[in-house]
Amino acid sequence: MEFDPDALPIPAIGLRCPRCEYLLDGLPRRRCPECGREFSMDELVPPGDWPLVSLAGRPVRLTDRMAAMFRQAGVPYIAAEFDIASYVGAPQAMPSNRWFRVSRTDYLYALFLLQYPDRAPPAAPPAGGQWTCPWCGESCPPHFELCWNCEAVRPQSS
């Protein structure tokens, strides 16, 4: 992992000042130039042990590729389905959203991976041979983490 949340300048991962919402990317010290507030990196992580992952103030939808990237990087996450239609009492024609949470200690690293997916650690060599996608039935090479046909995540047992 080449990410250090305590390093200066502040990593360019979309963090904002808790007081004035000034974008803190690249600052040489932990003091907002807009309002003058000093802060710690821990203050920039949303409250709770498993905060909802957000970029630019909006929750991030978990995709199969993101799930594979987080597993590969060793970042634990919790996927949570949120059906907007049932929440507002609308018909089920609206798609559901799959948000996710990460542990508080991995939150800043998760933002880093979302901003720079090409800097995620390389995948470990897979054990075993070909595996069959349980969703579409296609045969996939052992080094594929996602099904080449439907992009479903490889089951843990394969």
Residues 111 and 61 grouped into a single domain: yes
Q: Which amino acid, residue 49?
A: D
Residues 106 and 55 grouped into a single domain: yes
Q: Which amino acid, residue 51?
A: P
* Structural domain boundaries enclosing 133: 125-158
Distance CA 101, CA 25 (A): 22
Residues 53 and 116 grouped into a single domain: yes
CA pseudo-torsion sign 31, 34, 37, 43: negative
Residues 115 and 96 grouped into a single domain: yes
Say how many residues make up the chain: 158
Residue 153 neighbours by CB distance under 10 Å? 17
Q: How does residue 158 score in pLDDT terms, banded at 50, 70 and 90? A: very low
Q: How does residue 38 score in pLDDT terms, banded at 50, 70 and 90? A: very high
* φ and ψ at residue 10, rounded to 5 degrees: -60, 135
pLDDT at position 94, please? 47
Q: How does residue 79 score in pLDDT terms, banded at 50, 70 and 90? A: confident
Q: What is the distance between the terminal CA atoms of the chain, rounded to a whole angstrom? A: 26
Q: How does residue 120 score in pLDDT terms, banded at 50, 70 and 90? A: confident
Please tell me the total count of domains within the chain. 3
